Amino acid sequence: MKVLDQAAHRRFKDELYQEFARLGQALASPRRLEMLDLLAQRERSVEDLAQEMGLSIANASQHLRILAHARLVETRREGTRVYYRLAGDQVFRLWQALREVGEARLAEIGAIVQRYLGERDQLEAIDAAELLRRVEVGEVVLLDVRPFEEYRAGHIPGAQPVPPERLEQILQTLPRDREIVAYCRGPFCIFSDEAVARLRQAGFAAHRLRLGLPDWRVLGLPVAKGDTDDAP
């Protein structure tokens, strides 16, 4: 190991923390944080992200370049289209940690959620293994209420795809003698809130699962991929 003089020691610290600061600079944008949240669900093209977020393609591309420069996202090319994905589970855990610290330390976050969503129902008491067991034996109907492409990219085993636009169509097919649990992208995704509200309005015993699919995945829990032919 080298022995550094005082000047070299200072240069080492300056260069090291400058590199860490690249991450902070990349995260210092609400649009880029939303992009990380969306890319945690599945890989997406620039055009897809731009449409989802109401951005121009040029603006979306600029944000993605910053994330790529910080090595937070990676790309692959298919023909003329470029697809972006998170650079690894560590990137999601970074966003997850920021999200959790924000909830714990910033009262404004809770106030915003309360102002727009009111009191939120959530299913927290049941652990993942028990939830999977109850789904497998038919005690619980688990609904993935994210857009269908996100379901295809990965979902909780046994979950049925019910994208927001399809919920009304399947109300008559859901069993009324079983508990319904809905999940979506994560704790701030409102698809599950809206689904639970509509299900309860229709007379179902419904709850939301706070965990999103990315949170479920980084816990090392099983994830299924592809379509399903099972009806809820």
Q: Are strands 73-78 and 81-86 parallel, antiparallel or unpaired?
A: antiparallel
* 224 touches 156 (CB < 8 A): yes
Please confirm, yes or no, whether 189 is among the known catalytic residues: no
Task: DSSP for 168-190, please give it.
Answer: HHHGGGS-TTSEEEEE-SSTT-S
Residue 165 DSSP code: G
* 182 touches 195 (CB < 8 A): yes
Alpha-carbon span 173 to 181, nearest angstrom: 15
Residue 166 DSSP code: G
* 159 touches 151 (CB < 8 A): yes
Q: Tell me, letter by letter, the H, E, C secondary structure of 110-156.
A: HHHHHHHHCCCCCECCCCHHHHHHHHHCCCEEEEECCCHHHHHHCEC
What's the length of the chain? 232
Phi, psi of 181 (to 5 degrees): -120, 130
Q: Which of 40, 91, 184, 199 is catalytic?
A: 184
Q: Token pair of 197, please? A: 């509200």
Q: List active site positions.
A: 184
